Amino acid sequence: MASKERIQRLKEDTRANILEAAFKIVKKESWQALSMRKIADEIEYTAPIIYEYFANKEAILQELTKKGYIILSADLQAAKDKHNLPAKQLEAMWLAYWDFAFAEKELYQLMYGVQVNCCVFEKDFPEIQNPANLLWDVIKVLMAGTNPTEDDICRRYYTFWSVVHGLVSINIVKKGVSDKLNQQILRDAITAIIKSITGYFFFVIT
C-alpha cells in the first residue's frame, strides 16, 4: 500500500511540475511561445513523458485555466465575506476581480481570451462557473425587492462584467491612463450600476 501511495504522490508531483514549468515559460515569454518541447526542456524530461500526463498542449492550457478560475473564486469569496450589505459585497467583489486580473495577468489572458485563444472545454467544469455564480447570487439578493427574472439578473451581471472586463482588457492590451484614474473609472462605473439597481428598488417599495 505504501508503495502505491508513493507512486501516486510521484505522479501527482510530476504532473504539478509540468504545469509549473508551463506557467514559468509563459510568464517568461508568452502563451504563444509555449510548446510541449519547451516544457520538457524546462524540467529536463523527455517529451514522451510529458505526453504520459497530458495528451497535448490544450490539455495543459485547460488545467491552467481551471486553476485561474479557482483562484478567482477564492478571491471573490474572500471579498464578499468582508461585508454584510449586498451593495458593499458587490463593490468589493468587482474590485477583487480587477486586482486578480493584474496580479494573475497571464491566467486572466488565458481564461478570457485576451490576446490569446481561450480554451474550449468539452465537459462542464464547475470551476469555470463559480466566479459568475458568486457574483450572480449577490446581484440577485440586491435586486430581491424587484422580483427579478433570470433575464433581469443576467442583464445586470453582464452590464457589470462588460464594463469591468472591458477596462481590464484595455489596460492589458495597451496601458491607457494612470492607475489612479483607472481605479476612479472602475469605482464610478461599479457605483453607478449599483445605484441603478438600488434606485429602482427604492422606487418600487415607496
Instruction: Tell me how far CA of residue 134 lies from CA of 51, 75, 140, 171, in angstroms.
Output: 35, 11, 10, 25
Q: Where are the domains of the chain?
A: 1-54, 58-205
What CATH architecture applies to the domain 1-54? Orthogonal Bundle (1.10)
What is the separation, in whole angstroms, between the first and last Cα of the chain?
68
CATH number of the 58-205 domain? 1.10.357.10
pLDDT (tens, 9 = 90+) of the chain, 206 residues, equals: 457 788 888 889 999 999 999 999 999 999 999 999 999 999 988 888 899 999 999 999 999 999 999 999 999 999 999 999 999 999 999 999 999 999 999 999 999 988 666 666 655 678 889 999 999 999 999 999 888 999 999 999 999 999 999 999 998 887 667 888 888 999 999 999 999 888 644 333 33
Q: Is 177 helix (H, G, I), strand (E, B) or coil?
A: coil
- CA–CA separation, 24 and 22 (whole Å): 5
Contact of 73 with 126, CB cutoff 8 Å: no
Record the pTM.
0.87
